[in-house]
Structure 1
Amino acid sequence: MEEGSVFGYNKENNISTEVGTCSPDHSVATEDVVAPDTSTAEPGACSEGRASDHGATLSSAVQSPETENKEFIDEFGFLIDEEELNMELKHVKGAHSELTARREKRWRMVANWEATNTRNREKLKSLCRKGIPRLFRSGTWQLLLGSYVHILDPVDKGVYEVLREKDIANKELKEIISRDVSRTFTKHIMYREAGGAGQTLLRNVLHAYACADPEVGYVQGMGFVVCTLSTQMNEVETFWALHTLMKNEKHRMREMYRPGFPMLHQQFYQLRRLMAKLLPRLYKHFETLGVSPPLYASQWFLTLFVCDLEFRAVLRVWDVFMSEGWKIIFRIAIALLKWEERRLLSMPFDEVIPAMKTLHQGKDSDELLQRAHNVRFKTAELEAFAREFASSQVSGG
């Protein structure tokens, strides 16, 4: 598949499920990723082995061997050009403002996690929606997920290392993982080197999970989730965060990835029902054209928008996803569609599909999150749509 391609079309399942070499849009990345470590007694201190630890500083430059152009490395470790650097410096300056300092002070309440997660649950939810400060993101994600429990539990000590060294029974799957490793986060300084630290981490974590969950094994799209986690965590933390995302009640991501993609089909149905309610004109237009969610939304769900938003926005979306679950993914989807509704309504089929692949471009991250949180629907509605979908499957509808 060519550079920049995303999902191929899977006729058998009628969904797009193949991830190519897509890399998130990082032209306006603004935060650095120094974050607490959970490899000690509590989530805190600096973590070793994160993807961000292997990048250079924002002002560092690398010379491209093919051209005379210099490439710079942003605070997340992604390569940017000189023009993008000017934008980056402007946003980084804003990231160290007095407002950021005040936000970090408020986030110190997370140190008392038991009280925060019970008595102050609504306050925590509100803070996550405003964005978790870079100093607290790693530990907070792991606390929200509960994956830190595996790091601290002596019973789980060494489990990851055993899985990492175990042979995958399906040799073809092992080859697929190795092939896809080189096509993930291709613009990240850590992941671009064949056999380098990033690709080794990604291969290790995907290999270990495939051994831990043979039914799911490995599905294209999982690599982007692992890479994003690894920008905040070390290798062991990344594995347990992935493991928890797959199996906890709030996220249940293995239901999306397992054979037949059952939850992905459910999410397509839920998105259509939300469009019918919130964007009736666009819903009718898409139905008339035959433009259904499987043609454009697979990547949104399978990679949690990693391939479709600038990385700063990805982290903000994931802050809420860790806290609240899938609702934010639907809100972002509806917000993007509503933002471009007028333009999409004027397009025929052969223009709509390409337009959907660039829907996010030129969108300010803060405004996108604000628009998403203004999308109004209840969790109970999503649950009702899920029950409708389940009933339709039982009845053969």
Structure 2
Amino acid sequence: MEKKIIDDYEPGPLPSPRKMDRFGFLKQEINNPPDGLAKGREERRVRKWRKMIGVGGSDWKHYVRRKPHVVKRRIRKGIPDCLRGLVWQLISGSRDLLLMNPGVYEPYHLDFRGKLQFVLELKLKAKGDDMGAVGTQLVIYETSASELDIIRDISRTFPSHVFFQQRHGPGQRSLYNVLKAYSVYDRDVGYVQGMGFLAGLLLLYMSEEDAFWLLVALLKGAVHAPMEGLYQVGLPLVQQYLCLFDLLMKEHMPKLGEHFTQEMINPSMYASQWFITVFSYSFPFHLALRIWDVFLYEGVKIVFKVGLALLKYRHDDLVKLPFEKLIHALRNFPEDAMDPDTLLPMAYSIKGEPSALCPGDWTPTPSTVSRRLEELKQEYNKKDGKPSLSIEIKGNQKQTRLNDPWSLKVARSLVVVVVNPYCTKHLSATALKTSDLPVESRSSDLLLTPTAFGSHPEIFQVLT
């Protein structure tokens, strides 16, 4: 009986040895080893980076202040893999957080690492019927919603990587420790599905404590916080990003935007995970790493740019596909589109000038993507000093007012109701015709009511 209980929590059998790529993932196909020229080039890059960051990162801040453009250029070319963990900590400021908070992670770490042993010891001391009673009490007292979610999701995080394959092995235990520690450190966020891929990615390049503080830097800030607010209840920032991405896509590729509208394709159907996990969920690992290098230094704008570059790369094919094939294509990009040396320069080149767009498919605009993104954010949050969305109660009917044409544009483009990022409902494109939206005679503002959406009142619920 005792043996069975312990086995439930002990590491499972080691996975059978198989060929792995240089990152530790099981190989899908045999790749040609790098030639001597490429190896020599990589060694020269490493020497440049070591000189730039100094011993243990001692020269990093000074170099960034003196030559920020050199730093940006080198990061965009890719951080050497052997230095990636250290450089990520320097870029994000997580190294400073760790040094300013010595021993803070240890209580969380020991608490949750020791919990399992504590539970087992008490269970082993109990006998007969008492054992079941003690076990039930411990489960009620010790577990939480976050803990159960974390345990459930651990085996789904990078399942093809050797570090995370063994059930309850070192990788899964480290992942649990980091996620559970963060869920206690930041109780407002706790744990949200998708965070496992962030923590898992970090653990492949640094220790548990370093990964924990980098997660803190991402979500709460040090130098900057590129993911602050991303995991709030209901993921409102993710939905805002998706809306902004849709508008940018339609500005940059109007022909594709028109086709998506006709086929009732919304970014919620294909791009949610791009923002939630910064491409670490289903994209090739070597591409995800290069995106993360830039993301940590430049922020979320690289996610928008890479997304636009992907659509641009497949533009000519996508504009010809019907709904079902479109969905498949948007979730399964070809291997040639996943080459970072092809995709990322295309992403960096996306500005707002006609030359950066698909020939004949662009409306000239003077602003860069990042500047336009900021403008759209401001429009999204506030228009002419009053909210874009206001709610009134008249009698027993709830009415929602869209205060400006831009908000109406958003409403018209919404053809998918997002219950959460993993659940969408496909709606009729006719649900949001302008004629369906009643307009009050005494105001130029637009007024939405549940009846304005015919057989689709769910849209009203999402907008409000």
What SS does the aligned partner of 1:243 have? helix
- Does structure 1 residue 316 correspond to structure 2 residue 263? no
| Deviation, structure 1 residue 231 | 1.2
| Deviation, structure 1 residue 379 | 2.1
Residue of structure 2 in register with 1:102 after alignment: 44
Residue of structure 2 in register with 1:383 after alignment: 374
Residue of structure 1 in register with 2:387 after alignment: 394
What SS does the aligned partner of 1:257 have? coil
Describe the superposition over 1:65-110 as per-residue Cα deviations: whole angstroms up to 9, x where unpaired: xxxxx730222111114xx23x1x43x4468522212222221212
Residue of structure 2 in register with 1:374 after alignment: 349
Q: Is the 8 A contact 2:279 2:288 kept in 1?
A: yes
Equivalences for 1:1-397 in 2 at 5 Å? 64=16, 71-81=18-28, 84-85=29-30, 87=31, 89-90=32-33, 92-93=34-35, 97-107=39-49, 108-111=51-54, 112-153=59-100, 156-164=101-109, 165=111, 171-248=144-221, 250-363=224-337, 364-376=339-351, 377-391=368-382, 394-396=387-389, 397=402
Residue of structure 2 in register with 1:58 after alignment: none
Q: Distance in 2 between matches of 1:202 and 1:95?
A: 37
| Deviation, structure 1 residue 246 | 0.4
Assess, with a 3 A threshold, how the Cα gap between structure 1 residues 283 and 251 changes in structure 2: closer, same or farther: farther
Describe the superposition over 1:158-191 as per-residue Cα deviations: whole angstroms up to 9, x where unpaired: 2112223168987222111101001110000110
| Deviation, structure 1 residue 126 | 0.7
What SS does the aligned partner of 2:82 have? coil
Structure 1 portions without partners, runs of 5+: 1-61, 65-69
CA RMSD of aligned residues (A): 2.2
Q: Distance in 2 between matches of 1:360 and 1:230?
A: 28
TM-score by length of 1: 0.77
Which amino acid is the alignment partner of residue 159 of structure 1?
A: V
Q: Is the 8 A contact 1:256 1:264 kept in 2?
A: yes
Assess, with a 3 A threshold, how the Cα gap between structure 1 residues 394 and 189 changes in structure 2: closer, same or farther: same
Residue of structure 2 in register with 1:27 after alignment: none
Q: Is the 8 A contact 1:216 1:254 kept in 2?
A: no
Q: Distance in 2 between matches of 1:205 and 1:287?
A: 42
Assess, with a 3 A threshold, how the Cα gap between structure 1 residues 252 and 97 changes in structure 2: closer, same or farther: closer
Q: Distance in 1 between matches of 2:212 and 2:67?
A: 29
Q: Distance in 2 between matches of 1:109 and 1:306?
A: 27
TM-score by length of 2: 0.66
* Larger mean Cα displacement after TM superposition, 203-212 or 107-116: 107-116
| Deviation, structure 1 residue 151 | 2.4
Assess, with a 3 A threshold, how the Cα gap between structure 1 residues 170 and 260 changes in structure 2: closer, same or farther: farther
Q: Distance in 2 between matches of 1:158 and 1:96?
A: 42
Structure 2 portions without partners, runs of 5+: 1-13, 116-140, 352-367, 390-401, 403-464
Residue of structure 1 in register with 2:443 after alignment: none
Describe the superposition over 1:339-392 as per-residue Cα deviations: whole angstroms up to 9, x where unpaired: 111111111112211211102534322111121112223422111111111127
Report how many residues are paired.
324
Pick 1 or 2: higher relative contact order, CA cutoff 8 A, min separation 6.
Answer: 1
Q: Distance in 2 between matches of 1:170 and 1:354?
A: 39
Q: Distance in 1 between matches of 2:348 and 2:36?
A: 23
What SS does the aligned partner of 1:322 have? helix
Q: Is the 8 A contact 1:256 1:302 kept in 2?
A: yes
